[in-house]
Structure formats: C-alpha cells, structure tokens
Chains A and B, each alone.
Chain A
Amino acid sequence: EVQLLESGGGLVQPGGSLRLSCAASGFTFSTYGMTWVRQAPGKGLEWVSGISGSDGSTYYANSVKGRFTISRDVSKNTLFLQMNSLRVDDTAIYYCAKGDNYVGSWGQGTLVTVSS
C-alpha cells in the first residue's frame, strides 16, 4: 500500500522559510516522479512543483519559481520542498503526491500558515 506522510508545516512569518518533508513507502520511490500540490483555505487545488521520475528534472509553478526548491533523497525515500521568502498567499495545505503527470496517491497534507 502506498503511503505518503508529510511533515514540516507550521506557522512562519512573512519572509521566512520552511522545509517540508514527505516520507514515502509502498512503492519504488526512485522510479516515480513526485509532485507537491497545495490548497489554500476554502480554495481549489494548485500544482506547485514536480520532479521527474525519469531524469530528475524539476518544474515549478510561476507563483513559486525562484523561491521554492523541490528535491528528493532516494536513499531515504523522502521528498522535500524548501520554501523561502514565504508570503501570506503561500498559506495552504501542502500535499505530497505520487506521480509527475496525474496524481495516483496523495498524502494527508501539512498546513503551512504564513502570518505576522
């Protein structure tokens, strides 16, 4: 069974940083692309960043480009999202997701709140 467990969310001031982690199990992590998707309170889904399973290429939404960095440690089956220069409108639940095209499995999400 695929399991994705996010951690690292919390309250941070504008301009601050957070690093999200996602521990993956139940599948061969090194061979799959992975994605971060977020959902602001009461809003829809927004694709944030992805990392290709084939060549490790990374992609970012325009709204986070230059501020967020996606990476992974295949030895620890863990996906990361380094978030810098956080803004109030980055407040959302951040979901870790298996797949770099459609999302086959989702984590339960971790809440990031950016507020002074």
Chain B
Amino acid sequence: EIVMTQSPATLSVSPGERATLSCRASQSVYSNLAWYQQKPGQAPRVFIYGASARATDIPARFSGSGSGTEFTLTISSLQSEDFAVYYCQQYKNWPGTFGPGTKVDFK
C-alpha cells in the first residue's frame, strides 16, 4: 500500500497571503494525484486531479504541481472561503490512499 504524508499538519495564514501545502508519496504515483477540500460538516470536493488539472469551477488561484513522489498545492491569495482541510490522494494503485490532511486556518 502506498503511504501518503502531508505537511504541515496546520497552516496558519492571513487572507490575501499565499499558502503552499505539500504531499509526499512513499513510492512514485506518477501524476495520479488528487487534492480535495473539506469544510466542517460537508463532504469533500475534488479541486485538483492529475496532479495539476483544476476540477470544474475551481478558481485559478488554486494550482497543483509535482510528479513522482513530491506534490504541492498552492493557493496564490487566500480568500475567506478557502479556510478548510485539504487532503491529497494517490490513485495509481488501489487502495487509493489519502494523506492525513492539512488544515488551513486563520493566522
């Protein structure tokens, strides 16, 4: 099973600032990597798939990069609605393992 790790566990950011979230896989997943956003009491929502493709209706301030074992989700200028937990997931192999999440909260 591929193990996913994320850092930091919590990222404290002010609105308008840039946020950079990291995700690492225990072995190469090529570009088979997705990012999800989850807000309290809601189901997750896919934001990025294929490591860098934005899902439908996702704002351009969100960008994904990386391949192999190292990936990054960047939010160029945080808006109030972006404060949430973000999970990465590999889908190269089943089970499609998730990382433990990064919580983005107010500084």
Contact = CB atoms under 8 A, between A and B. Distances in A.
A1 B89 CA distance: 24
A103 B97 contact: no
A35 interface: yes
Contact of B34 (A46, A95, A102): A102
Nearest to A65: B95
Interface in A42-71: 44-47, 50, 59-62
B98 A103 contact: no
A44 B55 contact: no
Interface string B25-45: 000000010101010000111
Nearest to B93: A59
A103 B87 CA distance: 12
A103 B95 contact: no
Contacts of B1: 62
A95 B98 CA distance: 14
Interface of A: 35, 37, 44-47, 50, 59-62, 95, 100-104, 106-109
Interface of B: 1, 32, 34, 36, 38, 43-46, 49, 55, 87, 89, 91, 94-101
29 contacts: A37-B98, A44-B99, A44-B100, A44-B101, A45-B38, A45-B44, A45-B87, A45-B98, A46-B98, A47-B89, A47-B96, A47-B98, A50-B95, A50-B96, A59-B95, A60-B95, A61-B95, A62-B1, A95-B43, A95-B44, A101-B91, A101-B96, A102-B32, A102-B96, A103-B46, A103-B89, A106-B44, A106-B45, A108-B43
